[in-house]
């Protein structure tokens, strides 16, 4: 068995073999075999390899081909974090969604995100990313602005038990194949937007309008530009709730595609469900679908007339993991309960 360990010397990651017990390690068991991966510990109190998450990411070798775990101990990290394209195979692992928080207040640009990732093959678990410029909105006097919590443009990215909190444009699901499992996403205006090819499964979608009385928000703004593109947002067995009324979505681009599948909707979903500025001919290009949903907000009797329907075969494909994973990349993630 090939054993790997990691040491950090002057801020640079170096590999050692065989494994030395004094160094960081991450042990997993798969198919009755044990595997060891390097671990970099981040601890704001100074009891790890680094005090900041970004310093740990910077230490990872470029064009790495093996999983490296960056273990982020519980705490509040007031920093802007970016994983560049040349640093794939990073497993960013917090101690708990509610106890491991990354906070920044970048605003007025959708590229000023608290967390951004351009790298392929990234796995993030048990961390919450917050853009504090307008969050929490109930106690925030800043003008309402674009303020992104996460910008995700890599391919083969997975998030498990993570949080994304903001008010406008919280989660920029830019492009690439993405899987979100048991995550919490907060916002009010277009707070899940972009052109990703993504499944959100078992996620909490919370509309938080703050003190904006009478405001109607928008959960999604999907950006599919051409009919042949494979992108789209699929919300599978999620829970839509919150303190404010909201549309399920509006199109960001002409061929926007959003599916709510077997999702529980509270009564904060407006009866129309969806809205668009498109003309009647443009409405035929949109694919906004609700299937098998429940809850007081799922009543479709007053939904827009242009709500789409999909054939059974297409619906099964788009709501299955095959939609985002036809080559088995999810099975190659570090073992966790993400597929349980």
Burial class (CB in 10 A: 0-12, 13-18, 19+), 224: buried
- Rounded CA gap, 218 and 109, in Å? 19
Task: Report which secondary-structure segment, H or E, holds 318.
Answer: helix 312-318
Predicted local distance difference test score (pLDDT) of residue 214: 82
pLDDT at 325: 97
What pLDDT score does 18 carry? 29
Look at residue 335 in the predicted model and tell me its pLDDT: 80
Q: How far apart are CA 299 and CA 267, in angstroms?
A: 9
CA gap 81, 97 in Å, rounded = 17
Domains, in order of start, for the chain = 1-99 (no CATH), 105-340 (2.160.20.10)
Please give the pLDDT value at position 9.
Answer: 44
pLDDT for 22 equals: 29
**pLDDT, position 20:** 28
List of the chain residues with pLDDT < 50: 1-24
Each residue's pLDDT tens digit, 3-49 = 334 444 444 444 433 222 224 455 555 556 666 689 999 999 999 99
Q: Could you tell me the maximum CA-CA distance found in the chain, to the nearest angstrom?
A: 67
Q: What angle do CA 319, 324, 329 make, to 5 degrees?
A: 135
63 class by beta-carbon count within 10 Å (0-12 exposed, 13-18 middle, 19+ buried): exposed
Determine contact, residues 304/275, Cβ cutoff 8 Å: yes
Sign of CA dihedral 284, 287, 293, 298: negative
Catalytic residues: 169, 190
Query: Would you call the peptide bond into 136 cis, given omega within 30 degrees of 0 as the criterion?
Result: yes
* Token pair of 166 as six digits: 């903001």
Q: What is the pLDDT of residue 110?
A: 85
DSSP count for the chain of H helices, then E strands: 3, 29
- State whether the Cα torsion 116-210-197-162 is positive or negative: positive
Supply the pLDDT for residue 164: 98
């Amino acid at each position: 068995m090939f054993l790997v360990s990691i040491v950090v010397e002057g801020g640079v990651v170096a590999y050692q073999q065989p494994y030395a017990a004094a160094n960081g390690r991450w042990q997993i068991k798969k198919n009755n075999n044990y595997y060891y991966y390097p671990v970099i510990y981040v601890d704001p109190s100074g009891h790890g390899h680094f005090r900041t998450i970004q310093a740990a990411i910077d230490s990872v070798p470029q064009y790495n081909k093996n999983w490296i775990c960056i273990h982020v101990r519980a705490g509040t990290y007031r920093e802007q974090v970016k994983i560049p394209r040349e640093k794939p195979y990073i497993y960013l692992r917090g101690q708990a969604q509610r106890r491991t928080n990354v906070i920044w207040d970048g605003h007025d640009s959708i590229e000023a995100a608290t967390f951004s990732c351009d790298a392929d093959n990234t796995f993030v678990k048990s961390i919450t990313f917050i853009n504090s410029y307008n969050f929490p909105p109930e106690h925030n006097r800043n003008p309402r602005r674009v303020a992104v919590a996460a910008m995700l443009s890599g391919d083969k990215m997975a998030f498990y038990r993570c949080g994304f909190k903001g008010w406008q444009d919280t989660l920029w699901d830019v492009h690439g194949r993405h899987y979100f499992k048991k995550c919490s996403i907060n916002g009010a205006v277009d707070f899940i937007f972009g052109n990703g090819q993504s499944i959100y499964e078992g996620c909490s979608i919370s509309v938080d309008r703050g003190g904006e009385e009478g405001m109607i928000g928008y959960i999604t703004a999907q950006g599919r530009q051409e009919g042949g593109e494979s992108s789209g947002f699929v919300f599978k067995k999620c829970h839509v709730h919150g303190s404010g009324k909201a549309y399920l979505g509006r199109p960001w681009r002409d061929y926007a595609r959003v599916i709510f599948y077997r999702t529980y909707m509270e009564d904060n979903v407006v009866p129309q469900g969806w809205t668009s500025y498109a003309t009647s001919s443009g409405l035929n290009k949109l694919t906004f679908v609700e299937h098998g949903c429940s809850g007081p907000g799922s009543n479709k009797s007053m939904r827009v007339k242009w709500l789409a329907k999909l054939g059974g075969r297409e619906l099964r494909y788009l709501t299955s993991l095959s939609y985002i994973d036809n080559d088995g990349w999810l099975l190659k993630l570090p073992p966790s309960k993400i597929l349980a």
